[in-house]
Structure 1
Amino acid sequence: MSYFTIAGVQLHALHHGDNTEAMRHRVDVLMSRFPQVQMVVFSELMPLGASPHHAQPLPSHAEQLFCQLAEQHRIWLIPGSMFEQTETGIFNTLSVIDPHGHVVARYRKQFPFRPYEAGVESGSEFVTFDVPHVGRFGVSICYDMWFPETTRTLAAMGAEVILHPTMTDTIDRDIELAIARTNAAVNQCYFFDINGAGAIGNGRSIVVGPSGDVIHQAGTGEEIMPIEVDFSRVRRERETGLRGLGQPLKSFRERRVDFSLYRAENRSTPFLDTLGPLEKPRRADAEEF
């Protein structure tokens, strides 16, 4: 099968609180209106809000609710992410649930939005998963996409669609839209960047094709975005090039350059070490002017 329908859900929800019932209702409505949908993706931290104080061990009651919902509608479900409490700390974790209601993978955000996302640990493992007879998907979360190595690694692992829940309520959303298009183009993949609305995001979710083309960009309110993706398009463009031109994945494979930065023991350089600590900007005192 070459075609597969994915619905991104841009939902208005509480910043702090339980949004699971609203999500359940939205999936019920979505599947009634668009029964062709095979996968549903929500935004980052949608189920239980953006406070790490709501962190829970996984599996949890909320995750089980989503497993039941996926099995009820026979869909793949990515219910955004939730703060996960573990013995080693709190992680921002995304669950991938199959149409039988099974959690087939969990992904921990590798780049918490520090210094603002304080107290959240970094994940260290990349996650891809296969939909049988369809194709391979990769997952990342919000700030991860600002680091091109994350999406490039998923593409090198064979991901043809990147599912990217985000929670952006700040003035840099326009930059993220450009990054989403760039990630799709340089990795020749579909990129689903799904944001929240209202208190949990300023919307403008974007779905990008493997040539960096905008398939759909949402407004700032609630929106359901059922998009049919064509895996044969990804495979053809990776074979013949973006618009019949650049073949960045093949060129990266055949590179002669060795990126010594990534071999450095502390992943730093003398210049990077001059940039100072990773902390919030502070207001200057009057005597400093």
Structure 2
Amino acid sequence: MKPFAIAGIQMKVSAVASNVEMMKLKLDITMNLYPWIEMVMFSELCAYGPLTHTAQPIPNNFEAEMQAMAKKYGIWLLPGSIFEKSGDEIYNTATVINPEGEIVTRYRKMFPFYPYETGVTPGKDYCVFDVPEVGRFGVSICYDMWFPETIRTLAVMGAEVILHPTMSGTIDREIELSIVRAMASVNQCYLFDVNGLDTGGCGRSIVCGPDGRILHQSEGTEEIIPLELDIERARRSRELGILRLGQPLKSFRDHIHTGQFGIYQPNLPTPYLDSLGPLIKPTRLDTLAELKIKENELNQQASPIHYKGDGIL
């Protein structure tokens, strides 16, 4: 057994003031209470809150301050995410820092919460990194998890632990808790999901093991979540099966090249999905009906005219 200790910090997040000093205080408290912790992670958009006007270029002072904190305590650190300004684009970006205070990698959220997280550009690259002599870790952010392909890709890339900062304050949090359990089990990995409070979420952070069982679930108050993980459990699950039963990663491996997943072919027509309409915010039913009528009219206007003999169909 090679244990590895991770602490998630579930804290209040303000949308009108910087939360960076409080993050640093929470880190000080965590490391003084639990000096055996080797990695700390915060929730999504913890530093500056959920408003895109806080977007700033990377690297920046926030990263530098977090690098100093990681080096101070000799820990791995994932300080949630911030809105990154890059040219005309805004990304939701998380940084991974090693115990020497060096930036190991950055991850841009692949699935912004459209149609609500407007103005944010999706990232394109998956993110995994190795903790020497421990294992491989993957990074995913919030809504990414709703797309099983994202977590599955990280698992196929070898990730044994998924770090998943989130900012969920909506009434679907109960559904997300079930998704965390499902993603952990079908990918036979640890999944560390840390949510914020107030404008940063409704709490209820959750950590699951490679059999989908809950290792810890928080409630709606501030909390430090220190857990020692046995990474070997994920490897044993992948080798021998979940509870010595199903071996989903091996079965996926054995079918991935058979062409049975035809829906992933490039440029594949998707008439049913296209029929669902545009990705817009829900509105009143009468307004939706008007939009549907307009959409049908536009489709009719754009339809080609087909000739048959001398007549027009």
TM-score for both structures, normalised by structure 1:
0.97
Cα distance, 1:183 vs. partner?
A: 0.3
- Pairwise CA distance, 1:262: 1.2
Match of 2:205?
A: 205
2-structure distance, mates of 1:179, 1:137: 19
Aligned pairs for 1:133-172 within 5 A:
133-172=133-172
Tell me whether 1:262 sits opposite 2:264 in the alignment: yes
| SS of residue paired to 1:16 | coil
Q: Which residue of 2 aligns with 1:43?
A: 43
Partner AA of 2:264 in structure 1? Y
170-179 or 195-204, which deviates more: 195-204
Task: Show the 5 A alignment for 1:78-89.
Answer: 78-89=78-89
Moved over 6 A (4+): none
Of residues 217-226 and 276-285 in structure 1, the stretch that sits farther from structure 2 once superposed is 276-285
Identity of aligned residues (%): 54
**CA distance in structure 1 between the partners assigned to 2:234 and 2:284 by the alignment:** 48
Question: Whole-Å Cα distance in 2 between the matches of residues 194 and 138 of structure 1?
Answer: 14
What CA distance in whole angstroms lies between the structure 1 residues aligned with 2:244 and 2:179? 22
Partner of 1:240: 240
Determine the C-alpha separation between the residues in 1 that align with 2:115 and 2:284: 16
Count of residue correspondences: 287
Tell me what 1:3 maps to. 3
Contact 1:16–1:50 (CA under 8 A) maintained in structure 2: no
Q: Please state if 1:273 is matched with 2:277.
A: no
Task: Indicate the SS of the match to 1:4.
Answer: strand
Rg: which structure is higher?
A: 2
| Cα distance, 1:8–1:268 mapped onto 2, change above 3 Å | farther
Alpha-carbon distance between aligned partners in 1 of 2:150 and 2:265, rounded to the nearest angstrom: 16
State how far apart, in whole Å, the 1-side matches of 2:229 and 2:269 are.
39
Q: Can you give the 5+ residue segments of structure 1 that lack an aligned partner in the other structure?
A: none
In 2, distance between residues paired with 1:121 and 1:199?
Answer: 21
Match of 2:189 in 1: 189
Shift of 1:257: 4.4
- For residues 44-82 of structure 1, give each alpha carbon's deviation from its aligned partner in whole angstroms, at most 9, with x where no partner exists: 000111111100000011111100000001100000000
Q: Which residue of 1 aligns with 2:56?
A: 56
Structure 2 distance, partners of 1:215, 1:226, is: 11
Q: What does 1:212-227 correspond to in 2, within 5 Å?
A: 212-227=212-227
Gap runs ≥5 in structure 2: 291-313
Higher deviation after alignment, 245-254 or 79-88: 79-88
CA distance in 1, matches of 2:157, 2:9: 26
Residue equivalent to 1:22? 22
CA distance in 2, matches of 1:231, 1:22: 31
CA separation in 1, counterparts of 2:16 and 2:242?
42
Deviation of 1:88 (Å)? 4.4
Q: What displacement does 1:285 show?
A: 4.5
TM-score, length of structure 2 as denominator length: 0.89
Compare 180-189 and 231-240 and name the one that shifted more: 231-240
Residues in 1 aligned to 2:143 and 2:233: alpha-carbon distance in whole angstroms: 27
Give the AA of the match of 1:107: Y
Q: Distance in 2 between matches of 1:67 and 1:143?
A: 26
Q: Is this contact kept in 2: 1:4–1:229, CA < 8 A? A: yes
